[in-house]
Amino acid sequence: MKFHRELTKETLTPELALKILMEGNERFVNNLSANRNMMELVAQNRDGQFPFAAILSCSDSRVPTELVFDQGLGDIFSVRLAGNIASLKAIASIEYACKYLGSKLIVVMGHTRCGGVMGACDGVEMGNLGAIFSDIMPAVEAETQTKENRTSSNKPFLDNVIHLNVEIQMRNILDSSPLIREMLAEKKIGLVGGIYDLETGLVNFYEEDRIFSADCQSLAIKKMIVNG
């Protein structure tokens, strides 16, 4: 069952797309996930797709977006990179989802105890992983509240960096994509940030990280620049 099946690309709004995700996450947390006919979904999506949300999340095996939000085949356009990094190729994938597939909502989702963020906090140097850590370092540097023990062993510090990393990746998307900025200004899509809690299964969508209009976009960019 596709929970937005009765909605079309014209009637589904970014705000409603977020509501669908939040309701799905509530079902997931309460172990009430829908019983879906997977082969029926295969048939329904055979000739095309309408993923109502594009989600940039971490590659962590414990955070599969379709399960976390209790969505079915064809509902989520999933872009996964360690540390939920908004690389240019990730942004291009999101642009494709919004412009050509009709996705109404972009989600940047981090998660607690993220290994990528922990490695950046601890200054780990290890082969090609350094490229990931360097993309997360702006969030480490943006965390100015913590003066001592700025390592992953300090949970408040780590949690702050995880949240800042989500905001900075959101900013990277805005900075790098005129197409997404235009669609946001026209209120065709929304951009939100959230954190998945590995202990509870709950996704926390921060009010200050929800962008649904040109005015909100300006406020969010200002906030991110101040924090970053």
How far, in Å, CA of 110 to CA of 143, rounded?
Answer: 16
Instruction: Supply the CATH number for residue 74's domain.
Output: 3.40.1050.10
40 is in which domain, residue-wise?
A: 14-227
Q: Decide if 42 is inside a domain.
A: yes
pTM as predicted: 0.88
Q: Decide if 4 is inside a domain.
A: no
Give the number of other Cβ atoms within 10 Å of residue 46's Cβ: 9
Total domains in the fold of the chain: 1
H-helix segments, the chain:
14-29, 38-44, 65-68, 88-100, 115-121, 129-142, 155-176, 178-185, 214-227
pLDDT in single tens digits along all 228 residues of the chain: 355 556 677 789 999 999 999 999 999 999 987 777 667 666 676 776 789 999 999 999 999 999 999 998 889 999 999 999 999 999 999 999 999 999 999 999 999 999 999 999 999 988 898 999 999 999 999 999 999 999 999 999 999 999 999 999 999 999 999 999 999 999 999 999 999 999 999 999 999 999 987 554 444 544 543 344
